[in-house]
Amino acid sequence: MRVSLFVTCLADQLWPAAAVGAVRVLRRMGCDVQFDERQTCCGQPAFNTGYRPEACALARRLIEIFESSGSDAIVSPSGSCTAMLHHYEQLFEDAGWRARARGLAERTHELSSFLVNRLGVEDVGARFAGRLTWHDACHGLRDLKIKDEPRRLLRHVRGAELVELPPPGAETCCGFGGTFSVKYPEISVAILDEKVDAIDRAGVDAVVSGDASCLMQIGGRLSRRGSAVRALHLAEVLAATT
């Protein structure tokens, strides 16, 4: 299976372990992984803040790049960026671009969804000792309906114990919301603190999620509050073998 990696600008620059881990896991599962260096950003920050022409331009660019990849699937270590690609169709009025966007969306998968639903695997041979809890990133959860898949993958990680986050729960937003986190930081952090309180109560070694943006938000507050709990990307855990 030929897979083209949609790395996402955030993972590329700020959380490369997520992307490196994704490559390793996909290869372990027998995929031939390609990476097109021309890719940069999917345009989500622009789109979410209301800068549609800018988002459109980046969307066209990314569609062209991935169309030329000749791969069976495009896989990304980010639910929100994958969801953005799935929304590309709505950015265009032109029927031609809409069709191309639709075509791209059909081939683009978030990592956990790809592993479980496309490859049909739940055990990726990972080993990671520790108590973990999972945070459902909003776009992955609500736009892509990813809920079961990461949990199934984590339950097969040798040495790992997965616990569900106490109320307000795994499904509650972490408060990042892109530019919301810096436009309304006090509200963002108020939302975040409830999540971090729950993580504290869960008594875990690490909180795991499928989106680097959530991990930056959660991890940033955990360390500021002096917590020993680590923030890890799903791909980092799945790639671990020790």
Site for another protein in 35-64 (CB under 8 A): 35, 37-41, 43, 45-52, 54, 57-58, 61
Beta carbon of residue 169, minimum distance to another protein (angstroms, whole number): 10
Contact with another protein (CB under 8 A) among 155, 164, 187, 201:
187
Judged by CB under 8 A, does residue 190 bind another protein? yes
Binding track, positions 199-218, relative to another protein; x by CB under 8 A = -----------------xx-
Distant-in-sequence, close-in-space partners of 50: CB < 8 Å, separation ≥ 6: none
Query: Is 53 within 8 Å of 187 (Cβ atoms)?
Result: no
Distance CA 115, CA 119 (A): 5
Which two structure tokens, joined as six digits, stand for 109?
């998968």
- Residue 138 binding another protein, by CB under 8 A: yes
In whole angstroms, the minimum distance from the beta carbon of 117 to another protein comes to: 21
Task: Compute the CA torsion angle 90, 93, 97, 103 (nearest 10 deg).
Answer: 30
Structure tokens at 87: 């929304």
Check binding of 28 to another protein (CB under 8 A).
yes
Contact in structure between 65 and 74 (CB atoms under 8 Å) = no
- Count of residues binding another protein (CB under 8 A)? 72
- The binder of another protein chosen from 3, 4, 6, 23 (CB under 8 A): 23
Question: Does 24 engage in binding with another protein (CB under 8 A)?
Answer: yes
> Which 67-106 positions form the footprint of another protein (CB under 8 A)?
none
Q: What is the DSSP letter of 37?
A: T
- Our CB check for another protein shows the closer of 161 and 227 to be 227
Taking the complex as a whole, the smallest distance from the CB of residue 133 to another protein amounts, in Å, to 18
Partners of residue 33 on adjacent β-strands: 3
Q: Are 164 and 133 in contact (CB under 8 A)?
A: yes
Least gap, CB of 181 to another protein (angstroms): 7
The rounded distance, in Å, linking the Cα atoms of 209 and 160 is: 15
Among 85, 121, 191, 234, binds another protein (CB under 8 A): 191
Looking at residue 33, its amino acid is: V
Query: Could you give the CA distance from residue 231 to residue 173 in angstroms, rounded to a whole number?
Result: 16
Rounded to a whole number of angstroms, the minimum distance from the CB of residue 183 to another protein is 6
The count of other CB atoms within 10 Å of the CB of residue 13 is 11
Among residues 143, 197, 200, 205, which is the contact residue for another protein, using CB under 8 A? 143
